[in-house]
């Protein structure tokens, strides 16, 4: 079975004719609504993104190990209270509406989308990154990111699966587009808005629109939200977990919210890393959704987490960290900007990563509850019934700094 977007393409009468012509990049970009008056860098080289970030984005620097240090502005974590899903006829019965999945009218989504495009059309330069979500090609979707910050383009270059030159040439129209105009606020008078920040998804339009936050993690989480919606429809299970594989092919899953230890525990030098955060479990095994890792950097050290520490080099992105102005050495213990200091890097920067990032059916399942209230013992071996109960209940404590207001 393949993902619903792929099925929709296969059912299209246009696809049933002789081999279709793949639209050019410019033609596919027209569907986004961009005026395309300014230079648009598509899948730009890392060095070019570094140059632009250093030149045009205040607060940007290069660390002593070669990573790009960036500032995300006022927002240093995700804004779940400002997240919305468009209420549309095709999806209204498939979303669990409530305090997490808040409704936004189609009209308000259209207003926000036009606001984002109007802002991007005023920029002197734009960046596009075309990549994939999902290492299993049966379920993979094509994702396009449109943004005005080189930092955002580099971040998604790390977090999505990077296409080969041939795959990029044949990319065609994306299955989903992220329109990131986070430097510009949402209009609070638009119906459904409660602040200048808006992170909204329309499954019918296949778009995610970001306003009022420059925190790059919103894009990563947006892709995961899309996969959470699509994968169950394709008969497979999307998982908020890390994953690694032992010498004998034994696969382990580590479930947990952001900041509970998934990245740290999965980066085991004795096991191959499949992924640190987002996976899908199919009838044949598991696959990683992402092309990179997004690690918490607070108190990071070469002694405690050598694999992650050594992954912070040219091409990686460090967010909201403090560094020495002369040496550019990062002080990972300094949380004066935020508790949620982060680093994004391609998964191949971990020496023992497994690429392609796929594995067999999991044999070990570990639930990282991060129990801050002493409800559970430090370590507990669960029966199958207990494991199912705790998986469904999802008991955990949220970690400071990961989200705004926590």
Closest to 376 in 3D by CA, of 396, 354, 355:
396
CA-based angle 199:204:209, to the nearest 5? Answer: 20
Tokens 């040496």, residue located: 327
Burial of 12 (0-12, 13-18, 19+ CB in 10 A): exposed
| Orientation angle between helical segments 217-233 and 4-11, nearest 10 degrees | 70
166 is catalytic: no
Which of 84, 221, 271, 296 does the annotation list as catalytic?
Answer: 221
Secondary structure E strands in 278-379: 278-281, 286-288, 292-296, 317-319, 322-323, 330-331, 342-346, 358-359, 362-367
Side-chain half-sphere exposure of 396, counting CA atoms within 13 A: 17
CA-based angle 19:25:26, to the nearest 5? Answer: 120
191 is catalytic: no
| Orientation angle between helical segments 150-159 and 217-233, nearest 10 degrees | 40
42 is catalytic: no
**Alpha helices, DSSP H, located in 38-176:** 46-56, 106-120, 150-159, 165-169
Which of 60, 76, 115, 263 does the annotation list as catalytic?
Answer: 263
| Orientation angle between helical segments 150-159 and 46-56, nearest 10 degrees | 150
Q: What is the CA radius of gyration of the chain?
A: 21
Three-class SS string for 185-225? CCCCCCCCCCCCCEEEEECCCCEEEEECCCCCHHHHHHHHH
Which of 240, 328, 390, 398 does the annotation list as catalytic?
Answer: 240
**33 C-beta neighbours (distance < 10 Å), count:** 18
- Structure tokens, 180: 């990131």
Q: How far apart are CA 75 and CA 96, in angstroms?
A: 27
Closest to 1 in 3D by CA, of 289, 274, 232:
232
Which of 6, 28, 75, 78 does the annotation list as catalytic?
Answer: 78
- The residues that bridge with 181 in the sheet, in sequence order, are 211
248 is catalytic: no
Which of 60, 241, 258, 341 does the annotation list as catalytic?
Answer: 258
Strand 362-367 relative to strand 251-255: parallel, antiparallel, unpaired?
parallel
188 is catalytic: no
Which of 75, 84, 262, 272 does the annotation list as catalytic?
Answer: 262
342 is catalytic: yes
14 is catalytic: no
Which of 175, 342, 369, 402 does the annotation list as catalytic?
Answer: 342
Q: How far apart are CA 155 and CA 142, in angstroms?
A: 17
398 is catalytic: no
Catalytic residues: 78, 221, 240, 258, 262-263, 277, 342
């Amino acid at each position: 079975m393949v993902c619903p977007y792929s099925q929709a393409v296969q059912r299209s009468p246009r696809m049933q004719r002789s081999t279709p012509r793949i639209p050019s990049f410019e033609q596919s970009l027209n569907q986004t609504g961009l005026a395309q008056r300014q230079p648009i860098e598509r899948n730009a080289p890392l060095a070019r993104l570094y140059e632009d970030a250093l030149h045009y984005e205040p607060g940007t620097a290069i660390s002593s190990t070669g990573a790009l240090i960036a500032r995300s502005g006022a927002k240093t974590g995700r804004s779940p209270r400002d997240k919305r899903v468009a209420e549309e006829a095709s999806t209204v019965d498939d979303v669990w509406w409530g305090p997490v999945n808040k409704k936004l009218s189609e009209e308000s989504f259209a207003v926000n989308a036009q606001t984002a495009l109007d802002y991007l059309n005023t920029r002197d330069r734009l960046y596009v990154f075309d990549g994939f979500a999902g290492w299993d090609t049966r379920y993979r979707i094509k994702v396009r990111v449109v943004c005005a910050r080189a930092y955002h383009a580099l971040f998604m270059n790390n977090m999505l699966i990077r296409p080969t030159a041939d795959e990029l040439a044949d990319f065609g129209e994306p299955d989903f587009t992220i329109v990131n105009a986070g430097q510009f606020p949402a209009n609070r008078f638009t119906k459904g808005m409660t602040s200048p920040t808006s992170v909204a998804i329309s499954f019918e339009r296949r778009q995610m629109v970001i306003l009022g936050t420059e925190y790059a993690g919103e894009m990563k989480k947006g892709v995961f939200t899309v996969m959470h919606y699509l994968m169950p429809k394709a008969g497979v299970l999307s998982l908020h977990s890390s994953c690694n594989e032992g010498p004998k092919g034994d696969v382990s899953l580590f479930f947990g919210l952001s900041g509970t230890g998934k990245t740290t525990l999965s980066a085991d030098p004795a096991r191959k890393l499949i992924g640190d955060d987002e996976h899908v479990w199919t009838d044949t095994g598991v696959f990683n959704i992402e092309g990179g890792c997004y690690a918490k950097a607070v108190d990071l050290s070469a002694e405690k987490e050598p694999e992650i520490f050594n992954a912070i080099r040219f091409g990686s992105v460090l967010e909201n960290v403090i560094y020495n102005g002369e040496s550019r050495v990062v002080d990972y213990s300094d949380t004066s900007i935020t508790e949620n200091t982060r680093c994004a890097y391609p998964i191949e920067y971990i020496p023992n990563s497994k690429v392609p990032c796929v594995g067999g059916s999991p044999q070990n399942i570990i639930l990282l509850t991060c129990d801050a209230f002493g409800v559970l013992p430090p370590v507990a071996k669960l029966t199958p019934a207990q494991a199912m109960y705790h998986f469904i209940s999802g008991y955990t404590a949220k970690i400071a700094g990961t989200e705004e207001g926590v």
